[in-house]
Amino acid sequence: MAKNSSIPRFRIGLNVLVQSAIFVLLFAMANYLGFNHYKRWDFSRDQNYTLSAQTKRVLANLKKPVHLVVYFSGGSPIAGDAVNLLHEYAYASKKMVDVEVVDPFLAMSRAREVATLYKLRENDNVIIIDYEGRHKFVSASDMAEFEPSLNLLDKPRLKVFKGESALTSALIEITEPGSNQIYSISGHGETALDADPSLSGLKDYIERQNIKLDSLKLTDVELVPPDAKAIFIVAPKYDFSEMDVAALRAYWGKREKPGRIFAFLEPGTPTPNLCAFLSELGIVVNDDRVLCTRPIRLATGIFRGVLKEITGDFVPGSSITKRLANVTALFKGGVTQSLTLDTARGKEVGVKLQPLIQASKGFWGETRYTETAVYFDPKEDHIDPVVAASVEKDAPSDDRLRVDSSRLITVGSSAFLSNDNITEADLDFVLNGLNWLLDREEIIGIAPKPAHNLSLSLTESQLNLMALLVMVAIPGCAGVLGIVVWLKRRR
């Protein structure tokens, strides 16, 4: 009888053991799947932690692991945002990026090691990017812009968070072998991209793309230096000489390392030699001004005013503009002239012409812009004017193929580049165009994210109601519930 009773006990024990093993196995599987195959959603109001397509491409192209060290010794107001952003980098990189947060007050020994290794000062607030023994610092000031408070006792308010832009640019710089040398042409009254304070904002963003900027006088050289990955021509006030144009032509037509040119024109400045060079490539610079008329209501009546600061639409079909769909370009601070794409000439010289920005509906290229009264004349003026275009020689028919080709971008304005005028969309366009010139279509400039303060305005009656709910209604409900429970237990 005892022998028979041992069998059910054995079966029960075995059943319990098997059930426990299955439970442990299921628990381990659920933890493994949850840890390695999870999905993240960004429910923040401004999508602050959603990485841009550029950053995701940069992370996907990492060949070797990157170590990120957060070292914030002071009470930086962006410390939390920076750490959360870096965790998004780690998640998107598929384990190619690891993040270490070093708190000098909680991990003093590790903080001393990091400070000694990277030669940090006591009050540094930086993120260190370590890649194959090389390192680069991204300071807290690089990741944010603040504006002073109206109250002198209050701390400055966060205006723009630029963490993703600064971090991705630093990643590009440290993971890309060498630097890209770009020259800003001078000697014709151009705005010096590398030295003019009014373009310092654009210069900073360009240099963060692992680009070195220097000035170049064509009169000082016979040919454009061979290390030039691209050249900028910004707002020339005087025309190029025939020798200068010959240097541009030789640079553009090189068989090895074909030339790349980014030209921003200055309307109102006659540059026939430079325009003739562009015309050879199929871009005709029109002697006009892009404008439109708008009704203006005054005390004496309604009049039609002339609007010369144009808005434009990014034209699809180019890698420069494909991520700027439904975004409006704004050329502030000056006038703009239109460009005509000569497709017949383009076929003749074997180049691909592509419009990039077209003036918004209602704008036209006015040829009689010096006259007081302007109106659209279909016989003389240019309807639906193009204000930015690209040229590519020896372009492959399949965009997925990479070949060395000569490339050029021309924009019919330059005033919008200044610190006071450039918009986020304009900045994205310039950086996208520059990366296209450098064969870096996978790298697209990231515009900073403005910080929005959320305020809740309540009337006096609403405040009184809230106080009544918090101080009377909620405690009262808890008290009534307690009394009910007490009475039931008494019974």
Q: What is the pLDDT of residues 409-438, one digit of tens each?
A: 999 999 999 999 998 889 889 988 998 998
Residue 308, SS3 per DSSP: coil
Range in 65-69, 149-153, 303-307, 373-377 with the lowest mean pLDDT: 149-153
The pLDDT value recorded for residue 282 is: 95
**CA 133: distance to chain centroid?**
27
DSSP character string of 2-68:
HHHHHHHHHHHHHHHHHHHHHHHHHHHHHHHHHHHS------STT-TTPPPHHHHHHHHT--S-EEE
Neighbours of 31 (CB within 10 A): 10
The pLDDT value recorded for residue 174 is: 83
Distances (CA, A) of 490 to 478, 480, 484, 485, 486: 19, 15, 10, 9, 6
Q: Are 339 and 386 in contact (CB under 8 A)?
A: yes
Q: In the numeric block, which tokens belong to residue 440? A: 């870096």
**CA 158: distance to chain centroid?**
19
449 band by pLDDT with thresholds 50, 70 and 90: low
Least Cα distance to 234 among 436, 422, 441 occurs for 422
Please give the average per-residue pLDDT across 386-407, as a whole number. Answer: 79
Q: Which fold has domain 53-170?
A: Glutaredoxin (3.40.30)
Least Cα distance to 211 among 8, 380, 445, 389 occurs for 445
The pLDDT value recorded for residue 463 is: 85
Q: In the numeric block, which tokens belong to residue 268? A: 């109102």
Strands 328-331 and 310-314: antiparallel
- Asked whether residue 445 carries a pLDDT value surpassing 60, the answer given is no
Please give the average per-residue pLDDT across 114-139, as a whole number. Answer: 85
Range in 93-97, 135-139, 348-352, 479-483 with the lowest mean pLDDT: 135-139
| CB contact set of 395 (below 8 Å; sequence gap of 6+) | 351, 352, 403, 405
Which one-letter amino acid corresponds to residue 417? L
C-alpha dihedral, 389 to 392 to 398 to 402, nearest 10°: -120
Interval 305-319: pLDDT, tens? 788 899 999 998 898
Q: How far apart are CA 466 and CA 452, in angstroms?
A: 25
- According to DSSP, the residues that pair with 185 across neighbouring strands are 216
The pLDDT value recorded for residue 157 is: 72
- Asked whether residue 404 carries a pLDDT value surpassing 90, the answer given is no
- Asked whether residue 460 carries a pLDDT value surpassing 90, the answer given is no
Range in 103-107, 126-130, 249-253, 385-389 with the lowest mean pLDDT: 103-107
The pLDDT value recorded for residue 3 is: 53
Give me the percent of the chain exceeding a pLDDT of 90.
37
Please give the average per-residue pLDDT across 70-82, as a whole number. Answer: 81
- Asked whether residue 83 carries a pLDDT value surpassing 60, the answer given is yes
The pLDDT value recorded for residue 149 is: 66
- Asked whether residue 2 carries a pLDDT value surpassing 70, the answer given is no
The pLDDT value recorded for residue 327 is: 86
Interval 187-237: pLDDT, tens? 999 988 888 889 988 888 888 677 889 999 988 888 899 999 999 999 999
Q: Which fold has domain 179-450?
A: Rossmann fold (3.40.50)
Interval 33-59: pLDDT, tens? 877 766 667 666 666 667 877 788 888
H or E element at residue 430: helix 424-437
- Asked whether residue 259 carries a pLDDT value surpassing 60, the answer given is yes
The pLDDT value recorded for residue 486 is: 86
The pLDDT value recorded for residue 260 is: 95
Give me the percent of the chain exceeding a pLDDT of 70.
87
Residue 233, SS3 per DSSP: strand
Least Cα distance to 286 among 385, 377, 151 occurs for 385
Question: Does 9 or 398 have the greater pLDDT score?
Answer: 9
Distances (CA, A) of 448 to 200, 201, 205, 427, 451: 16, 12, 11, 10, 9
The pLDDT value recorded for residue 396 is: 66
Which one-letter amino acid corresponds to residue 253? G
Residue 442, SS3 per DSSP: coil
Q: Are 51 and 89 in contact (CB under 8 A)?
A: yes
Cα three-residue angle 10-11-13, rounded to 5 degrees = 65
- Asked whether residue 11 carries a pLDDT value surpassing 90, the answer given is no
Which one-letter amino acid corresponds to residue 473? A
